[in-house]
Structure formats: structure tokens, C-alpha cells
């Protein structure tokens, strides 16, 4: 199973596009700024080019990992990759993989399947991580819910793109 780099790049752009909407002052941006203790002066005093550039690199890493959360066929390959002949269609394991992928390669490969797994990652991974950090940073539930909501929507869309882009 090869990586679909176009899907990865498109999915990696999702955090930026969702962020432009989610953190817009007319949506949740003003509430987030208040909850985070952020001011216009702090925002203006940063190099946004560096922030967006590093954010894009991190989003590519997130998209690469999100594939493993949403595309179950990847796991079969990871189990067999150390077997002799893996990748050689003329070997026993290569023939098995080719047969497996021809029969089951597109099972559960839909946008909605990826969306569900992305949402679950937001709830069961992002919420505990960001929630714990926010509690120790003495941030309130509003801050936690705004940020976890953003990542849950973002991961849902990323998962949908990655899983459904067959």
C-alpha cells in the first residue's frame, strides 16, 4: 500500500483552513482570545510566517499519522513487512498481500469512516492531552472546549480526506 501524497498534503492544509474559520473573531476567535489570555499586542509581536510554516510541517506529520488511525489496511502491511519476500509479488507473502488488497483493499475506505475515526481521536486523544495541559495552566473549560472542538473537527476532516481518497 503506497502513500497518497496528494491526500496527505490536502489533509495537512485542513488545520489552517479550519483555523481561519474557527478562530475568526466572528466565530470563536474573540472567546478564544479571552479564554487564552491573548491580546492583539501579543499577536502583532510574532512572526506569522514562521508560525504558519512550522504549523504546516506539523500538520504534514499529523496527516502522516492520521492515516494509521483511519486506514485499517495499513496494519496488515505493518504486520507482514519483516517477512521475507514482502513487496515481491512472486513470493508467498507478496502474493498474500496482493490477494488481500484485491479483496479487501477498499473496505472501510470512505470519507464517513475516516470522519468518525478522526472525531474519536479528537475526543479520546486530544481532549485528555489538551485538557490536562489546560488544567495545569489554570485555563478554564471554555478554553479547553474551544481548542478540543477545533482539533476534533480538524481531525475528523483530515481522517475523512485520508480514508476516503482511494
Return the higher-pLDDT residue of 94 and 29: 29
Q: Is residue 131 part of a domain?
A: yes
Over residues 126-148, the pLDDT tens digits come to 999 999 999 999 999 999 999 99
* Structural domain boundaries, residue 147: 5-72+108-164
Q: Is residue 124 part of a domain?
A: yes
Number of folded domains in the chain?
Answer: 1
Quote the Cα angle for 125-127-129, to 5°. 70
Q: Is residue 155 part of a domain?
A: yes
pLDDT at 19: 98
Return the higher-pLDDT residue of 127 and 84: 127
Within 10 angstroms of residue 127's Cβ, the number of other Cβ atoms is 18
Three cell numbers, residue 127? 481532549
Q: Is residue 102 part of a domain?
A: no
Q: Is residue 85 part of a domain?
A: no
Over residues 88-134, the pLDDT tens digits come to 888 998 899 889 989 999 999 999 999 999 999 999 999 999 999 99
Three cell numbers, residue 133? 495541559
Q: Is residue 79 part of a domain?
A: no
DSSP secondary structure, the chain, as one string: ----HHHHHHHHHHHHHHHHHHTSTTTTHHHHHHHHT--HHHHHTS-HHHHHHHHHHHHHHHHHHHHHHH-THHHHHHHHTTSTTTT-TTSHHHHHHHHHHHHHTTTT-SHHHHHHHHHHHIIIIIHHHHHHHHHHTT--HHHHHHHHHHHHHHHHHHHHHHHH--
Q: Is residue 14 part of a domain?
A: yes
Q: Is the pLDDT of residue 74 over 70?
A: yes
Q: Is residue 13 part of a domain?
A: yes
- Indicate the pLDDT class of residue 68, thresholds 50, 70 and 90: very high
Tell if the pTM clears 0.85, that is, is over it.
yes
pLDDT at 1: 60
pLDDT at 3: 80
Amino acid at each position: 500500500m503506497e502513500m497518497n501524497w496528494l491526500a496527505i498534503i490536502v489533509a495537512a492544509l485542513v488545520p489552517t483552513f479550519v483555523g481561519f474559520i474557527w478562530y475568526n473573531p466572528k466565530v470563536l476567535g474573540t472567546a478564544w482570545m479571552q479564554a487564552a489570555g491573548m491580546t492583539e499586542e501579543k499577536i502583532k509581536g510574532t512572526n506569522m510566517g514562521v508560525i504558519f510554516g512550522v504549523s504546516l510541517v506539523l500538520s504534514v506529520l499529523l496527516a502522516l499519522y492520521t492515516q494509521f488511525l483511519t486506514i485499517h489496511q495499513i496494519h496488515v502491511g505493518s504486520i507482514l513487512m519483516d517477512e521475507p519476500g514482502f513487496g515481491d509479488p512472486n513470493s508467498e507473502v507478496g502474493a498474500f498481500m496482493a490477494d488481500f488488497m484485491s479483496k479487501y483493499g477498499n473496505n472501510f475506505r470512505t470519507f464517513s469512516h475516516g470522519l468518525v475515526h478522526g472525531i474519536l481521536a479528537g475526543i479520546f486523544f486530544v481532549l485528555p492531552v489538551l485538557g490536562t495541559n489546560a488544567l495545569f495552566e489554570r485555563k478554564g473549560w471554555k478554553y479547553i472546549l474551544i481548542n478540543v472542538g477545533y482539533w476534533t473537527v480538524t481531525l475528523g476532516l483530515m481522517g475523512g480526506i485520508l480514508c476516503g481518497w482511494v
